[in-house]
Amino acid sequence: MEKEYKSLSYFKLYKNDFRFETQLLSNEQKGAYIELLIYMSDNGGYIKNDHKIIKKITKISQKKFSDIAKNLVKKRGFLVHPELRLRIKKQRAVSVIRAKIGSEGGQANAKAKGVAKGKQLLKHKEKEKEKEVKEDKAKALSEKKPKEGSLEKLCLEDIQTWLDGKRALGRYHDIDEKEHLEYFKSWCIASDKRYKNYSAAFRNSFEWSTAIKKGDYHAETFRPANKPGKAQEARRAIQEAMFG
């Protein structure tokens, strides 16, 4: 009769059963019986019914072993311990179940880690995509912004035809366009204002209440950063001082 399973690292020894089985045995025989049970636990609860093998394991004579053999059953040339065999079967079944659970648990953990890693990778890709979208938007906005230097290139020639037409209609005769151009440029720089068309923005600025008037020699007192209405107050104060 061959081994049916791999040997176990331990086996259960029930003290009450052991005491009942060994109550008539000497201490030497009890020690031999334990060695025999250890051997049999590694071999499915069997041992070959060969005294040479038994003596090699138990280190006792055949006569002394005969008292131990009363706890064993002869079966096809082997000695069997029925209770030990049953315990081994149960113990191995539990070990198989635990191994299976452990394997499934390991697979579940691996799967969970894989899912977590997949989510992390997906999140990273989404962030990268979001970053690309933001960069594309920023690039599109930057392309719409006026080119550097367009404000510096702004000059009266850009609006001269328009200004002549307005003055032919009787408008903006009191505006000092040269002073107002410098004021407009300073205001754009100070306020970080940017326009796609600076010429159009400059034309619109002629409607500002702070547009530089001809004859305002103290214009610096009411240039950018003055609140609406301050320019008129400054002009009025100058006129009162000059003409009473």
pLDDT tens column, 99-150: 778 777 767 677 777 778 888 888 888 888 888 877 877 776 665 554 545 8
The pTM score is: 0.38
pLDDT tens column, 89-102: 787 777 778 777 87
pLDDT average, residue stretch 163-176: 88
Query: pLDDT band at residue 50, thresholds of 50, 70 and 90?
Result: very high
pLDDT tens column, 82-91: 888 888 778 7
Q: What is the DSSP string of the chain?
A: ----SPPPS-----HHHHHHHHTTS-HHHHHHHHHHHHHHHTTTTEEES-HHHHHHHH-S-HHHHHHHGGGSEEETTEEE-HHHHHHHHHHHHHHHHHHHHHHHHHHHHHHHHHHHHHHHHHHHHHHHHHHHHHHHHHHHHHHHSPPTTTTTT--GGGTHHHHHHHHHTT-STTB-HHHHHHHHHHHHHHHT---S-HHHHHHHGGGSTTPPBTT-TTGGGGSTTPPTTHHHHHHHHHHHHHH-
pLDDT tens column, 196-230: 899 898 899 888 866 677 665 444 444 444 444 55
